[in-house]
């Protein structure tokens, strides 16, 4: 029972982190129709900037300043890069953001090298918050949860209760109309892109110490983020939330409980074959849940695509 609680917390941390990334991605996609392949790259930049700033000014300054820098960079990318490519269509836009992701990864390697950075949890948070039957829950993880939830509540408030939020919501669906009403839609686009990437930056700053700060981090998380929004349904924020939490919990539980395929197959009546070493399906038989934990999101995505192509909450149905 207690193990379940531990996994719930762990899964929640992962899920919320995923949501921070997929929310920004969804916002950008809903508004501009472009899926920002480089989104996870901004997450990575957040981690690296956070690390760099924390060396000089401490973790908290990093948490404050790094997302701002990332957000400004994101806005610049939109203004000078994406806007230029937009005229050629959606596919070139995707290719551009892909090239950007490539370039950012090379840039990071160029500046900081290929090794993992010693980006650590700040001392003030480096203790055990509480323990559940022997499993200690680090205070940092609780901190991550609080920050994430805090940001969402803030975002939700801005989007639904403020005038700017209303304009953004309107521009999400009818940018031309909003422009005709006198609002500076290009500026809104730039702002949304900047905020979206800044969100990714925040995720990077707080995840860097836990998940590791290294040049491959963008790609590792990036593909999961895309899977998340496909499962949740492209363009749906609620879908992104549900899918993120789902994936966070599924992968955590799969890793924690060692469910063996052999046991499942035996339970439904298929006997273990005699000579396992020669058996063609030996890999299948020896599958354990921790092994496939990381590819479960992909399997889920394929299943959703076959049976419910629009995703769980998808708006853009064909």
Partner 1 sequence: MSDTDPRTDLPEGARPKEQLKTDPTKPAQRMGAGTMTITLLPWIIASIAMMVLPMIFTNNSALTIMNQMSITIIFALAYNMLLGQGGMLSFGHAVYAGVGGFFCMHLMNMSDFFAMLPLPVLPLFGGLFGMGLALIVGAFSTRSAGTVFAMISLGVGELIAASSVIVVAFFGGEEGISGDRTYAQPFFGVEFLQQQEVYYLTAAWVIISAALMYAWSRTPVGRMANAVRDNPERAEFLGYSARWVRYYSFVASGFFAGVSGGLFAINYEILTEENLNAASSGIILLVTFLGGVGFFFGPIIGAVVFTLVQTVLSLETELWAFYAGSLFVATVMFFPGGLAGLIMMHVPAFKLGKAKLLVMPYLKTLLPAALGILGLCALVEMTFHYRHGATGDNEMTLFWTTFDSHTLLPWIIAGAVALIGIAIARKTAPDLKDAWNEANTAGGGS
Angle between helices 185-211 and 59-76 (to 10 degrees): 140
User: For partner 1, which residue of 89, 150, 154, 273 counts as binding (CB under 8 A)?
Assistant: 89
Does position 181 interact with partner 1 (CB under 8 A)? The reply is no
**Which region among 1-9, 44-52, 84-92, 128-136 touches partner 1 (by CB under 8 A)?**
84-92
Minimal distance in Å, beta carbon 274 to partner 1? 17
Does position 55 interact with partner 1 (CB under 8 A)? The reply is no
User: For partner 1, which residue of 73, 100, 117, 207 counts as binding (CB under 8 A)?
Assistant: 100
| Listed residue (317, 16, 273, 25) closest to 142, CA to CA | 16
Q: What angle do CA 205, 128, 17 make, to 5 degrees?
A: 30
Minimal distance in Å, beta carbon 137 to partner 1? 29
E strand spans, the chain: 128-132, 135-138
Tokens matching residue 56: 């000089």
Does position 149 interact with partner 1 (CB under 8 A)? The reply is no
Backbone angles phi, psi at 136, to 5 degrees: -85, 135
User: For partner 1, which residue of 5, 264, 281, 308 counts as binding (CB under 8 A)?
Assistant: 281
User: For partner 1, which residue of 18, 27, 234, 250 counts as binding (CB under 8 A)?
Assistant: 234
Provide CB contacts within 8 A for 61, sequence distance 6+.
53, 54
User: For partner 1, which residue of 69, 76, 102, 147 counts as binding (CB under 8 A)?
Assistant: 102
Say if CB 105 and CB 40 are below 8 A apart. no
Q: Sort strands 128-132 and 135-138 into parallel, antiparallel or unpaired.
A: antiparallel
Minimal distance in Å, beta carbon 4 to partner 1? 26
Does position 96 interact with partner 1 (CB under 8 A)? The reply is yes
Does position 99 interact with partner 1 (CB under 8 A)? The reply is yes
The SS3 call for residue 135 is strand
* Torsion angle of C-alpha atoms 133, 142, 43, 93, degrees rounded to 10: 90
CA distance 168 to 240: 18
Does position 35 interact with partner 1 (CB under 8 A)? The reply is yes
User: For partner 1, which residue of 30, 54, 236, 244 counts as binding (CB under 8 A)?
Assistant: 30
Does position 175 interact with partner 1 (CB under 8 A)? The reply is yes
**Which region among 9-17, 40-48, 227-235, 248-256 touches partner 1 (by CB under 8 A)?**
227-235
Tokens 């800044």 -> residue: 198
Our CB check for partner 1 shows the closer of 148 and 197 to be 197
The SS3 call for residue 200 is helix
Region 112-131 residues binding partner 1, contact defined as CB under 8 A: 113
CA distance 173 to 192: 14
Provide CB contacts within 8 A for 141, sequence distance 6+.
9, 10, 13, 129, 210
| Listed residue (233, 260, 249, 237) closest to 297, CA to CA | 249
Region 289-318 residues binding partner 1, contact defined as CB under 8 A: 291-292, 294-295, 298-299, 301-302, 305-306, 309, 316, 318
Does position 169 interact with partner 1 (CB under 8 A)? The reply is no
For partner 1, how many residues bind (rule: CB under 8 A)? 63
Binding stretches for partner 1 (CB under 8 A): 29-33, 35, 81, 84-92, 94-96, 98-100, 102-103, 105-107, 109-111, 113, 172-177, 219, 223, 226-227, 229-230, 234, 280-284, 287, 291-292, 294-295, 298-299, 301-302, 305-306, 309, 316, 318
């Amino acid at each position: 029972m207690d193990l379940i609680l531990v996994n719930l917390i762990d899964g929640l941390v992962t899920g919320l982190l995923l949501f921070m990334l997929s929310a920004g991605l969804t916002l950008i996609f809903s508004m501009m129709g472009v899926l920002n392949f480089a989104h996870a790259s901004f997450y990575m930049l957040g981690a690296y900037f956070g690390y760099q700033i924390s060396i000089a000014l401490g973790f908290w300054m990093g948490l404050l300043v790094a997302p701002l820098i990332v957000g400004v960079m994101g806005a610049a990318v939109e203004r000078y890069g994406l806007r230029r490519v937009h005229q050629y269509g959606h596919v070139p836009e995707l290719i551009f953001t892909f090239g950007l992701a490539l370039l950012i990864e090379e840039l990071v390697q160029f500046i900081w090298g290929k090794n993992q950075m010693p980006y650590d949890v700040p001392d003030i948070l480096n203790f055990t918050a509480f323990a559940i039957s022997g499993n200690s829950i680090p205070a940092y993880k609780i901190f991550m949860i609080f920050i994430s939830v805090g940001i969402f509540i803030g975002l939700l408030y801005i989007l639904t209760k403020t005038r700017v939020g209303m304009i953004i919501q309107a521009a999400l669906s009818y940018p031309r109309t909003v422009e005709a009403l006198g609002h500076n839609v290009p500026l809104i686009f730039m702002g949304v892109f900047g905020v979206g990437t800044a969100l990714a930056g925040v995720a990077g700053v707080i995840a860097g110490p836990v998940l590791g700060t290294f040049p491959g981090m963008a790609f590792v998380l990036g593909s999961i983020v895309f899977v998340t929004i496909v499962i949740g349904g492209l363009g749906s924020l609620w879908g992104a939330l549900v899918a993120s939490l789902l994936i966070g919990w599924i992968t955590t539980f799969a890793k924690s409980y060692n469910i063996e395929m052999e046991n499942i197959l035996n339970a439904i009546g298929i006997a273990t074959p005699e000579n396992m070493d020669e058996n063609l399906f030996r890999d299948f038989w020896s599958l354990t849940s921790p092994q496939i934990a990381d590819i479960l999101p992909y399997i889920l995505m394929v299943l959703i695509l076959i049976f419910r192509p629009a995703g769980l909450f998808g708006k853009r149905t064909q």
